[in-house]
Amino acid sequence: MTCSKRRIGDRDVHPVGLGCMNITHAYGPPLDEAEAQALLVRALDLGCEFLDTATIYGLGRSEALIGEALGHRRQEYFLASKCVLGFRDGQRVIDGRPEAIKAACEASLKRLRTDVIDLYYLHRPDPKVPVEESAGALADLVREGKIRFIGLSEMGEEQLRRAHAVHPVAALQSEYSLWVRNPEIAVLDACRELGTVLVAFSPVGRGFLADPPADPANFHASDMRLSMFPRFRPEYYPANLTLLVEAKAVAEEANCSLAQLAHAWTLAKGEHVIPIPGTARMAHLEENHAAPDVSLTAAQVARLDAHFAPERAAGPRYSPPGQASVTTEMFPFEQQAHG
């Protein structure tokens, strides 16, 4: 069957977008440039019209690769990027000051080889700058014609509403998957109320719900799952693997892959939800793109909801520094674990 598109901003796009972090860093060595550009071209050829990148990905390299590979096809895709979480002298920084946001946008426009970014997010909250000031800078960029819509990433309901009072927030990006259910605390419903798209990043649990490694100890030394995401640690990972037995059973019933099941579940959570899996593999790209053709029954969704109840995931979502950098809501048992 042909999947129905979903709206983000003023554009109807394929229900599964592409997160463009993996091509430059995160889960192992980056793709070489020819491979990365080939993957981006293939995504567009498939009809993947929503590309999501950020200043920090590869220290600007992800944006540059999109510009190099797809700049001449700019009208074919809805382009999102992010600021605030950036780099200075090769070091990661958080800077939500209006002047920093505007300078970051100018640099991104150059790397992306475009005159306008469709959706520009605040990648992380800057605890030193009220979200209203940062959102105001994005509103200025809209008025100047440099961006078209504004977004937030890894923020909770309070900051969403505060930013939305300054300028309509078109999208809120948050980690959302069977393995990470935190948006269900508040922002999933708040987004629906405000007309904001919930952009679900890591919808396959950083690979856990797609191609789960037998032993994370075999990850490449540069893989950030080793340091930032405790659920892959030896003390937690075996318990998490047991969750997949039921998921694989439902996937077999639905005649789909585990990754496609994860996407179909996410898509079933609301017409305002758009997952953006990232990948460095062409086969995974094509597998993800076909996921909207999978139909889950209400009973299957409910079964997965119960099996992946938030408290059943072993280990915290983020390391302490990672958790400290976001304001997404936590479940009570998570708050206790983080003190």
44-48 LR contacts (CB < 8 Å, sep 24+):
44/70, 44/73, 44/76, 44/77, 46/285, 46/286, 46/289, 47/14, 47/289, 48/14, 48/16, 48/17, 48/18, 48/77, 48/285, 48/289
pLDDT at position 1 = 38
Task: Give, in order, the Cα–Cα distances in Å from 318 to each of 175, 186, 322, 326.
Answer: 11, 19, 5, 10
Distance CA 50, CA 273 (A): 13
Residue 89's Cα: distance from chain center in Å? 26
Distance CA 242, CA 181 (A): 18
What's the pLDDT tens digit per position in 109-168?
Answer: 999 999 999 999 999 999 999 999 999 999 999 999 999 999 999 999 999 999 999 999
pLDDT at position 89 = 86
DSSP 175: E
What's the pLDDT tens digit per position in 296-313?
Answer: 999 999 999 999 999 999
Greater confidence (15 vs 224) lies with 15
Per annotation, catalytic residue among 27, 57, 120, 176: 57
Q: What is the mean pLDDT of residues 84-100?
A: 92
Q: Any catalytic annotation for residue 57?
A: yes
Q: What is the mean pLDDT of residues 301-330?
A: 95
For residue 264, pLDDT beyond 70:
yes
Q: Domains (ranges, CATH) in the chain? A: 12-337 (3.20.20.100)
DSSP 268: T
Distance CA 140, CA 189 (A): 28
How many C-beta atoms lie closer than 10 Å to residue 182's C-beta? 21
> Whole-number mean pLDDT of the chain?
95
pLDDT at position 214 = 86
Ramachandran class of 13: left when φ > 0, alpha when ψ lies in -120 to 50, beta otherwise: beta
For residue 2, pLDDT beyond 60:
no
Q: What is the mean pLDDT of residues 255-263?
A: 98
Distance CA 320, CA 90 (A): 23
Distance CA 107, CA 88 (A): 12
Least confident residue range of 70-79, 117-126, 163-172, 204-213: 204-213
Contact 139, 170 (CB under 8 A): no
For residue 339, pLDDT beyond 70:
no
